[in-house]
Chains A and B, each alone.
Chain A
Amino acid sequence: MEVAKVEHVSRVYKTGDVETAALKDVSISIEAGEFAALVGPSGSGKTTLLQLIGCLDTPSSGRIIIAGQDVSKLNRDQRADTRRAKIGFVFQFFALIPTLTAFENVEMPLLLNGLPAAERSARVQQLLDAVGLKERTNRRPDQLSGGEQQRVAIARALASKPALILAYEPNANLDTENGRQVMEIMQRLNRETGVTFVFATHDPRVIAYASRVITLRDGQVAANGAGAAKV
């Protein structure tokens, strides 16, 4: 079953009279439960593609279907609703709200989805336990290490039980050991919960975990095949 389907998508940015095509007629399909890597050099279009799949942006042409819903033409609030219900994000810079504790950061998507307090609390505790941060629930981001912050971000991405989690260079700001731990946690959660992960990276150590590798070059799919860690 397809979680994300990208059909002939192009994305053109305009700066004054200058047009730059970040993606050119890209078509890919992500199946449920995949642990896929989007790879390519800087400027290849992997971040743009992830933004489009994540409903953070809209394509200039083509169609994007997320969990059976065409999201190409949604307005701002409809895209926000889709993100809230179907998509989780893990960012390179962790992207936690600095004034909230680890618990509250993970709780945020559940609050936005209107989950009752008791269910929220149980879910957050379960997720923080799953990423090994059960003892650090009341710490704020500045009281956590980089690796811990990224684990909080992973727990937050999983909170709403999304169909798809998109990770942007998840290891870029971590040392080797923390990077390895984060990838192993993501891989374990992928196997245990069946949630689909798509991550953009150019780090060979990260690519090694991928069950499929989609290579982009100059805004086009250059290769699309099984990864080293095929599940």
Chain B
Amino acid sequence: MLQIIKLAWRDLNRNRRRSFFSALALGMGLSLLLLMAAVIEYEIRSSMDTSIRLQTGHLQIRAASYNENRSSLAWEDLVEGPAAIAVQVAGLPPVSVATPRLFASGIVASGDTSAAARITGVDPVSAANDPYRSGILSGQWLGADDRDGIVIGQPMADKLGLKAGDKPNVLVNTANGDVDSQAFVIRGIYSTRTPGFDNGTIFMSLAKAQAITRAGDHASAIFVLLKDRDQTGAVVAALQTRQFTVLTWDRMNALLSDTEELANSYMILLYLIILAITATVIVNTLVMAVFERTREIGILSALGMRSGRIMAMFFAESAMLALGGIALGLIIGGAMVAYFGSVGYYIGDYGMTGLLFGERIYAVLTLKDAINLSIAALLVTLVASVYPASLAARLEPVEALRGGRQA
């Protein structure tokens, strides 16, 4: 076996440039796959984190009849006395923060322009608002007793030509099915660098939201953040009542999970296509090697080398090319991932409904992806080398010794 490996190594070195470029082709294919896998990994992972942090929390406690899609404000669909419940929930050890929120749909209008908005009534002092508070670009976050202020996202401000201190009209659906309207002062403009969220979400104090929507002492949900996501099950078990529904982060982000599964399925197909293309380069190299070394194969056969060992020799060459390509791919791909991991790539507002993507793409490569893709590259290359290896093994010694071929 050692001699076969030695022969294979020397044969590859016979035409170093061709061997190098064959390995490089595989390396480039692998590096692109690593980058793609790293980008998708980051997007899925960050999208889930972003959604939890900005939109869903780890848990939401809602009235059993609440329908999120209708942003229902009917009292029977809301949580009554939410402040007291939030305090109780916040007392559970795994809970980091629990705060009531009221969701309503509305329109922000300024002059001749208007934009649909998801109005979110929040307790201005809650730590759950930190992502928005820390993203204030101009003006300030809502004060504790703010009764006529709102905070809007930068994309909406740009679209409506608004700035901090301006007074747009806000039209809001109310609990009894009417629409109410009131002028609000823009206290601040925020950006979470998640255009899909910033574009449509405006904040006002919970008390004001309850008043303008006539929701009374009710909230749409108790928004809960946990210290550790893995504690979700334990907290849900502790909160189960017949009166409320406790929604978990994975259920609220089911679309994201489904999208991840779908993306993974497509990616496997894409991986195979790219690897198959690069494997053809290896096949080409090996087929050329078979034709070039027909006479040598005949010599080895004349010396008594069995077909299986001749095949093994070409498999060894193929494996060496693959390992070289994988090494190059890991180096090139690693460098690309490192670059995209730190600098990123600006894509702007590329969110899909229900999914929150940041405005920049970053990359994070997992060891699992690197290992899986490297193994896939090796296997695809070995499978692809079956043809040239069997071509060599099937050469008739007499024909091969003449330098011709007869498969």
Given contacts A77-B307, A83-B303, A112-B305, contact A56 B401 (CB under 8 A): yes
B14 near A99 with CB under 8 A, answer: yes
B299 near A95 with CB under 8 A, answer: yes
Chain A residue numbers with a CB within 8 Å of B3 are 108, 111
A109 near B304 with CB under 8 A, answer: yes
Is B164 in the interface zone, CB < 8 Å from A?
A: no
| Residue of B295, B301, B305, B397 most packed against chain A (CB within 10 A) | B397
Task: Give the residue name and chain of the B residue nearest to A76 (CB).
Answer: B307
Chain A residue numbers with a CB within 8 Å of B301 are 80
B7 near A85 with CB under 8 A, answer: no
Is B302 in the interface zone, CB < 8 Å from A?
A: yes
Chain B residue numbers with a CB within 8 Å of A80 are 301, 304-307
Chain A residue numbers with a CB within 8 Å of B303 are 83-84, 89, 108-109, 112, 156
Q: Pick the contact of B304: A85, A98, A99, A100 (CB < 8 A).
A: A85
B307 near A89 with CB under 8 A, answer: no
Binary interface encoding of chain A residues 31-69 relative to chain B, with 1 for a CB under 8 A from any of its CBs, else 0: 000000000000000000001001011000000000000
Q: Pick the contact of A99: B10, B302, B306, B308 (CB < 8 A).
A: B10
Chain A residue numbers with a CB within 8 Å of B309 are 112
Task: Give the residue name and chain of the B residue nearest to A77 (CB).
Answer: B306
In the assembly, what is the distance between CA of A35 and CA of B305, in Å?
Answer: 27
Chain B residue numbers with a CB within 8 Å of A93 are 295
B296 CB → nearest A CB, Å: 6
Is B338 in the interface zone, CB < 8 Å from A?
A: no
In the assembly, what is the distance between CA of A188 and CA of B396, in Å?
Answer: 33
A100 near B307 with CB under 8 A, answer: no
Binary interface encoding of chain B residues 289-322 relative to chain A, with 1 for a CB under 8 A from any of its CBs, else 0: 0000001100111111111110000000000000
Is B11 in the interface zone, CB < 8 Å from A?
A: yes
A126 CB → nearest B CB, Å: 19
B155 CB → nearest A CB, Å: 65
| Residue of B299, B301, B302, B398 most packed against chain A (CB within 10 A) | B302
Number of A-B contacts (CB under 8 A): 64
Task: Give the residue name and chain of the B residue nearest to A153 (CB).
Answer: B299
A112 near B307 with CB under 8 A, answer: no
A80 CB → nearest B CB, Å: 5
B241 CB → nearest A CB, Å: 76
Binary interface encoding of chain A residues 74-102 relative to chain B, with 1 for a CB under 8 A from any of its CBs, else 0: 00110011111100010101011111100
Interface size on B, residues (CB 8 A): 23
Task: Give the residue name and chain of the A residue nearest to B296 (CB).
Answer: A97
In the assembly, what is the distance between CA of A207 and CA of B304, in Å?
Answer: 28
Binary interface encoding of chain A residues 103-125 relative to chain B, with 1 for a CB under 8 A from any of its CBs, else 0: 00000110111000000000000
B302 near A83 with CB under 8 A, answer: yes
B391 CB → nearest A CB, Å: 15
A10 CB → nearest B CB, Å: 17
Chain A residue numbers with a CB within 8 Å of B300 are 97, 108
Given contacts A51-B398, A77-B307, A91-B401, contact A99 B299 (CB under 8 A): no
A99 near B11 with CB under 8 A, answer: yes
Task: Give the residue name and chain of the B residue nearest to A109 (CB).
Answer: B303
In the assembly, what is the distance between CA of A116 and CA of B146, in Å?
Answer: 91
In the assembly, what is the distance between CA of A89 and CA of B398, in Å?
Answer: 13
B401 near A95 with CB under 8 A, answer: yes
A81 near B304 with CB under 8 A, answer: yes
Chain A residue numbers with a CB within 8 Å of B302 are 54, 56, 83, 89, 91, 95
Chain B residue numbers with a CB within 8 Å of A100 are 7, 10
A98 near B296 with CB under 8 A, answer: yes
B45 CB → nearest A CB, Å: 49
A194 CB → nearest B CB, Å: 21
Task: Give the residue name and chain of the B residue nearest to A98 (CB).
Answer: B296
Chain A residue numbers with a CB within 8 Å of B398 are 51, 56-57
Chain A residue numbers with a CB within 8 Å of B307 are 76-77, 80
Interface, chain A (partner B; CB < 8 A):
51, 54, 56-57, 76-77, 80-85, 89, 91, 93, 95-100, 108-109, 111-113, 156
Interface, chain B (partner A; CB < 8 A):
3, 7, 10-11, 13-14, 295-296, 299-309, 396-398, 401
Closest 6 CB pairs of A and B: A84-B304, A99-B10, A83-B304, A95-B299, A56-B397, A77-B306
Chosen A-B contacts, 11 in total, with CB atoms closer than 8 Å, are: A56-B401, A57-B397, A80-B305, A80-B307, A97-B299, A99-B10, A99-B11, A100-B7, A100-B10, A112-B305, A156-B303
